[in-house]
Amino acid sequence: MKPQPKLDLYKLHKAEYAATRKPALVEIKPASYLAISGQGAPGGDRFTASIGALYGMAFTIKMTRKFAGQQDYAVCKLEGQWWSEPASNFDRLPKDQWLWNLLIRTPEFIKDDDLRQAVAVLLKRGKGEEVKRVRLESLAEGLCVQMLHVGPYEKECETIAVMKAFAEQQQLLFSGKHHEIYLSDPRRVPPERLKTILREPVRPS
Amino acid sequence: MAATQPLRLTETIALDPALAKAQKQSSDPGAAVVCMPAMSGQGTMRTITLQDYKRRLLRVLVHIQQHLDDPLGLQELAGRACFSPYHFHRIFKGMVGESVKEHIRRLRLERAAGQLKLGTARITDIAFDAGYESHEAFCRSFRAVFGVSPSQFRSSTRNRITPTARSGLHYREGQPVNDFKATQPGGKNMKVKIEYREPARVAFMRHVGPYDEVGATWDKLLPRLGKDGRLDGDALILGICHDDPEVTPPDKIRYDACVTVDESFVPEGEIGVQVIPGGEYAVTTHFGPYQKLGDTYTRLLGQWLPRSGRELRSTPCFEVYLNDPQSTEPEDLLTDIYAPLQTKPNTLI
């Protein structure tokens, strides 16, 4: 319904999002994100409210700029980092102890002032306090192993195992937060067809 | 629920007083048709069936064959079948397998083929009778259906093949149409759920013009609402199509770009407020580019609906856009289509 965007960060950084069903090494350049973090099961109240706040902020910032005639850009897809403390036992932890950082990649020209203005507008409209937790974050992940996971989120461990074996072959170790990029919409796409890019930062072992 | 029972016109007249009246008055093109709800002999409501849908559509098909040279307007055709003008064309296309326009064009060409075969009329006169203003346009259309030019068709008896329509509907001089084969739902089963919706208050901007230009309207509406924090992650982005692009000229198509809003929004400038009626809706998801939405509408209204036991309300359908076309590949776009249903008859008793 809408014309082609002027700026699409995923298209601009195509190589960083060109994952296939085979693991590959990719150099990820530093990037700016809108981010909101928390703890709890995916689909839980906290998680759902955080996604709403993140999207509310993303579109309020984008549309405020667009209304003012500044450069237009596409709001990127949802991404997330998942981890636990301590790091070693993520798979065995109950889901309500999972830690997450939800992300939407954002152009570098979006600054804290843009966020402050959007928070003020959304609070005035009666949105919850969650919007105040949305912040700008820069990630510099560097060298990563990436692979496309097709199927339910519960089966990601199988893909991660393939990625781990691939890293070990190259004398590399997982060295950062597990990062995933949601290419499909879980509200309508059946679990077996969900596409998710899995990303694991690595360093030499 | 396949249509296995043959439907003969004589039986239909006996069963359906509305059709009998339509038949009697069919010499008068302005005749009003009385619309009857689905009733049984005892006067109690019963579930509407595929046969009912076929019977109602047959009234229109008979009328078209008898008035092939008249201007056949949407209101009149829809009224004859007691369908809402909002939905008639999609029901017709879904059940007959071609649009009203395509159907009329094909029947006129078949009639022309008969004239070529039997008569001695000049081809230009036959072209004019078939509704074509130029010989070239007629030849082009004729060749598309019969595979040969009108003059080849006339001179060679070997090439006189009339392709069979899946609906079984063909032009037969002096033989009124008395049955047709409703298109079977093909491919994978369509997933449709019935959903009750509360009325929805929406801020909207109306676009009048070609469907593929609605982007300009969205580009005005979304920044104005978005800068005020009204795209807050909960707002629904939806579109109401008042016209069918297949029958309405592109420059007259009306489309409302809508965003759900609360009571605090007041109309401003080009942005109005309307309420989308609540009630039951049949909902299905369209997967893929917006350009192909029409196919899913046709399947929902023309193939699922006649076999669902339900009827549509006379309010437009609407579509909810689930993802952002700016960051989504066309084949990954998701759109929910909502078709407004009448309250189920047996819940009224």
d(CA B339, CA A151): 31
pLDDT at residue B221, rounded to an integer: 97
Q: Do A2 and B326 touch (CB under 8 A)?
A: yes
pLDDT at residue B284, rounded to an integer: 96
**How far lies B326's CA from each of A8, B37, B300, in Å?**
8, 45, 27
With contact defined as beta carbons under 8 Å apart, do B173 and B65 qualify?
no
Q: Do B227 and A121 touch (CB under 8 A)?
A: yes
Q: Which CATH number fits domain B102-155: 1.20.1530.20, 1.10.10.60, 1.10.1060.10, 3.40.50.300?
A: 1.10.10.60
Report domain extents, chain B: 102-155, 193-347
Q: Is the pTM of this model over 0.80?
A: yes
d(CA B342, CA B308): 12
Domains assigned to chain A? 1-29+140-205 (3.20.80.10), 31-139 (3.20.80.10)
Q: Does the pLDDT at position A4 exceed 70?
A: no
DSSP secondary structure of B154-211: HH-STT--PPPPTT-----TT-------PPPPPSSPPP-EEEEE--EEEEEEEEES-G
Q: Which CATH number fits domain B193-347: 3.20.20.100, 1.20.120.1760, 3.20.80.10, 2.30.110.10?
A: 3.20.80.10
Q: Do A66 and B223 touch (CB under 8 A)?
A: yes
Closest residue in B to A49 (Cα) is: B233
Residue ranges for chain B with pLDDT beneath 70: 1-46, 159, 187, 345-349
**How far lies B251's CA from each of B213, B214, B215, B319, in Å?**
10, 12, 15, 21
Instruction: Report chain A residues whose CB lies below 8 A from the CB of B290.
Output: 1
Lowest mean pLDDT among A50-54, A84-88, B96-100: A84-88
Report chain A's terminal Cα–Cα distance, integer Å. Answer: 49
Q: What is the tens place of the pLDDT at every residue in A157-177?
A: 999 999 999 999 999 999 999
d(CA B56, CA B180): 12
Q: What is the tens place of the pLDDT at every residue in B214-225?
A: 999 999 999 999
Tokens at A102, concatenated: 């939800």
Q: Do B228 and A121 touch (CB under 8 A)?
A: yes
Instruction: Report chain B residues whose CB lies below 8 A from the CB of A150.
Output: none
How large is the average pLDDT for residues A130-151? Answer: 97
pLDDT at residue B346, rounded to an integer: 54
pLDDT at residue B46, rounded to an integer: 63
Instruction: Report chain B residues whose CB lies below 8 A from the CB of A2.
Output: 215, 218-219, 325-326
How high is the mean pLDDT of chain A? 93
